Structure 1
Amino acid sequence: MTEVTRGTEERAAVTAPRGAKWRHIGPGIVVAATGVGAGDLVATLVAGSKFGHTLMWAAVVGCIVKISLAEAVGRWHLATGRTLFDGWRSLGRWTTVYFAVYVVVWGFVYGATAMSSSALPLVALFPDVLPLKGWAVVSGVVGLVFVWFNRYTVFEKVMTVLIGVMFVVVVYVAVRVGPDVGASFSGLVPVLPDGSLLYTLGIVGGVGGTITMAAYGYWVNAKGWTDAGWMKVMRLDNRVAYLTTGVFVVAMLVVGAELLHSANIALAEGDRGLLDLDTVLEERFGAVTAKLFLVGFFATSFSSLIGVWHGVSLMFADFVDRLRRERTGTAGAGDAVAGPVGTSAAEVAEGRRESSPAFRAYLLWLTFPPIALLFLDKPFGLVIAYGVLGAFFMPFLALTLVWLLNSSRTPAEWRNGILSNAMLAAAGLLFLVLCVQQVRELPW
């Protein structure tokens, strides 16, 4: 046994939990709250409104796909002591070029999108206080201040509260509309009605599937999980996250099927479709249910905002630190495992990324430049670049994980088995199909 292996096992023995593992759950809650945004809820509602309960099975398959992907991300961080970007960098410089362009363009456009999404329910709740753009700026700045002055522990607690609100509201609305239990269970039988293929792929691959899945490993490390001794806890945490996501998806499909499909009601495109649902709920169940739904809408949108503000900023900080180390040839703690210029999971756990200039610089990038997009139509070229880069990210994540977790970069004990390879390959193929479709639908 090598000294490195022995040291890793000793750290695992000390840090791994000995008692109940449920109290350690946290990063999964964060990734679930961040990954399910208002746009995901609208897409699921529309699928329910068009096809009723028929696509319920797709929600189940989607959960399995996301559990496999997130487990692979967490396994890489814990098994190797290296961050995901460090793994990407070991595959070649092309990954750096892609990520650098992606994180800049995506962050610029997403910042405006997240702020607008958070503002929509606030305008509906408080119509005489500020206009949409005013609430959007307030949402972005509040998110910036919160993430800037708090570390992961506080961030996780707030995200837990927000996902609790989301969960209660979405499930309450689903129960309130009176679901047809028999029809819901019949939707677990895989069928594809005419014209449903793209909606099905969207449910399987879209809900909860963004760059935040890559951020999961960083949140795992920020929680203090830095070695393979936490593997079982991480897997439990991950399953809880995507089972929660599955409940959201099923609940919104039920709402779409029972409230919209039967009445042949169409929703507006984008996040504004949730305001249409608010109107329908008020007419059907009264103002209290409608207002409660708007609170859940805000929790959904704002949790995604601060989740991205924190998680993607962590990734950007790691990206910058990795490039700095390559230029200087320096190494840090844990590099006996990570390699001569590797970045260690321990450094994320110590909070060094959250206080770094790069972390805060990306926070500013997500907040202030996108405000200009709130007052202007998005430039045509930027829309195209954002769409293409965004479409390619999930195939990039799935296929690079297959590469990393089948290579000598991962300790033999934690490399992919047949099931993991099959799930990641299926996910990669699914996301490639969605990628092609998204690119075809861009306004070329």
Structure 2
Amino acid sequence: MVMAATGVGVGDLVAALVAGTLYGNVFVWAIVMGALLKYILNEGIGRWYLATGQTILQGWHSLGKWATGYFGIYLVILGFAFGAAVTSATALATTTMFPALPLWSWAVIHSLAGFLLVWSGHYRLFEQVMIVLVGVMFVTEVGSAAILFPNLAELSLGLVPRLPDGSLFYALGLIGGIGATVTLAAYGYWLREKGWKGSSWIPMMRLDLTVAYTMTGLFTLSLLVVGMELLFGTGIILEGDKGMVELTRIVGKELGEAVRWLFLIGFWSASFTSLWGRGTGSPTSSPTLSAF
């Protein structure tokens, strides 16, 4: 549940939404491939930790300082860029719901909330809150797709790999974005917090990742369905986090104000779980500091 919540951010949902809006069911295969690829990568990371007791960052450190130095530079740049983007996205959702406070105020509030939750160092609390927010995301995102009654036979045609002209970067964005990147490095820390050690835990770890990436793929596919059913062929193109706000307006118009609010809550949940989850690695130990 923690993997699914952390790995699905607003950027991934927007990418799926835009792909469904522009190309209909064409990129179902890319979502499936992205979830499968991240499962394979993370299964290797999980086996490494269970076999050695070391996280993937500690493993890279054993190769020499150049390895963690390279990743450290990447992580610092990503941290600033992602930190700004995810707090803005989270604030955008709450500003839309509660416009009494400006966007910058909500961004500061969410940044401080994320910091305090991570600083508290209680993995059990972290896990429980993430499970609740995954439930919210499931009800809102998957529920929205189900309300639109997609044609499953037509949707299944998207399992056949195709690349329409000019669509390569949309496909790569979906394949690479699903499940995130820092989330992979964080997995070993979450296994450590759970107390999973030794090869006897490999079957449980594989089941854990199967559930995680099944849900990740389902969340992403749901937004593709929403884009396909509501916007495909209309000429409306939604881009960036603000596109999600515009989508909530369209959802409200088509499905009612109650569904619009549910969708906004799902938008907020997807943003805040990414902010919190990717900021942890381990709530009691920063993955970057541990590696160095």
Instruction: Tell me the TM-score normalised to structure 2 length.
Output: 0.95
Equivalent positions of 1:18-97 (< 5 A) are 29-97=1-69
Q: In structure 1, which of residues 307, 332, 344 is the aligned counterpart of residue 277 of structure 2?
A: 307
Q: How does 1:333-352 map to 2 (within 5 A)?
A: none
1:343-373 Cα shifts (integer Å, max 9, x gaps): xxxxxxxxxxxxxxxxxxxxxxxxxxxxxxx
Q: In 2 relative to 1, CA 177–264 (structure 1 residues): closer, same or farther, beyond 3 Å?
A: farther
2:214 to 243, 265, 272: 243
Q: Give the letter aligned to residue 136 of structure 2.
A: V
For 1:131 and 1:218, how far apart are their aligned partners in 2?
36
Alpha-carbon deviations, 1:385-411, whole Å to 9, x = none? Answer: xxxxxxxxxxxxxxxxxxxxxxxxxxx
Q: State how far apart, in whole Å, the 2-side matches of 1:79 and 1:301 are.
A: 33
2:255 to 263, 285, 302: 285
Is the Cα contact below 8 Å between 2:27 and 2:162 reproduced in 1? Answer: yes
Among 110, 114, 121, the residue aligned to 2:93 = 121
**What are the within-5 Å matches in structure 2 for residues 241-390 of structure 1?**
241-267=212-238, 269-311=239-281, 314-320=286-292
Partner residue in 1 for 2:110: 139
Per the TM alignment, residue 249 of structure 1 is displaced from its structure 2 partner at its CA by 1.5
- What corresponds to 1:101 in structure 2? 73
Given that 2:61 and 2:67 are in contact with CA atoms closer than 8 Å, whether structure 1 keeps it comes out as yes
Q: How does 1:227-242 map to 2 (within 5 A)?
A: 227-242=198-213
When the two structures are aligned, how many residues end up with a matched partner?
290
Q: Is 2:191 the partner of 1:220? A: yes
Question: Contact (CA 8 Å) 1:32, 1:241: kept in 2 or not?
Answer: yes
Alpha-carbon deviations, 1:85-116, whole Å to 9, x = none?
22101222211221222232322232222211
| Gap regions ≥5 residues in structure 2 | none
CA distance in 2, matches of 1:122, 1:190: 37
**TM-aligned CA deviation for residue 281 of structure 1:** 0.5
Q: Which moved more, 1:57-66 or 1:94-103?
A: 94-103
- Indicate conservation of the 8 Å contact 2:90/2:271, yes or no: yes
RMSD of equivalent CA atoms:
1.4
Secondary structure in 2 matching 1:309:
coil
Q: Determine which structure has greater relative contact order: mean sequence separation of CA pairs < 8 Å that are 6+ residues apart, divided by chain length.
A: 2
2:182 is the counterpart of 1:211: yes
The one-letter code of the counterpart of 1:77 is: Y
Q: Which of 124, 132, 155 matches 1:153?
A: 124
Does structure 2 retain, via aligned residues, the 8 Å contact 1:73–1:84?
A: yes
Alpha-carbon distance between aligned partners in 2 of 1:50 and 1:197, rounded to the nearest angstrom = 13
Deviation, 1:158, is 0.7
Secondary structure of the equivalent of 1:193?
coil
Contact 1:74–1:234 at 8 Å: present in 2 too? yes
Larger Rg: 1
Whole-angstrom distance in 2 between the partners of 1:106 and 1:193? 31
Question: 1:264 Cα deviation (Å)?
Answer: 2.4
1:263 CA displacement: 2.3
AA matched with 1:148: W
Determine whether 1:194 maps to 2:165.
yes
Q: Identity of counterpart residues, as a percentage? A: 49
Instruction: Give, in angstroms, the shift of residue 120 of structure 1.
Output: 0.7
Distance in 2 of aligned mates of 1:92 and 1:297 = 41
* Aligned positions of 1:385-396 closer than 5 A: none
Opposite residue 122 of structure 1, the aligned amino acid is: T
SS in 1 for 2:286: helix
Q: Is the 8 A contact 1:218 1:314 kept in 2?
A: no
Q: Can you list the C-alpha shifts for 1:164-203, whole angstroms capped at 9, x where unaligned?
A: 1111111111012221222101111222222222211211
Once residues 308 and 214 of structure 1 are traced to their aligned partners in structure 2, the CA distance between those partners, rounded to angstroms, is 10
Write the deviation string for residues 310-361 of structure 1: whole angstroms up to 9, x where unpaired. Answer: 11763123124xxxxxxxxxxxxxxxxxxxxxxxxxxxxxxxxxxxxxxxxx
CA contact (8 A) 1:118 1:298 kept: yes
Distance in 1 between residues matched to 2:142 and 2:82, nearest whole Å: 28
Tell me the distance in 2 between the aligned counterparts of 1:100 and 1:274.
32
Three-state SS of the structure 2 residue aligned to 1:168 is helix
Q: CA deviation at 1:214?
A: 1.3
Amino acid at match of 1:33: A
Q: Is the 8 A contact 1:170 1:252 kept in 2?
A: yes
AA aligned opposite 2:64: G
Between the aligned partners of 2:235 and 2:45, the Cα distance in structure 1 is 41
Determine if contact 2:249/2:260 at 8 Å carries over to the other structure.
yes
**Amino acid across the alignment from 1:143:** G
CA distance in 2, matches of 1:93, 1:150: 28
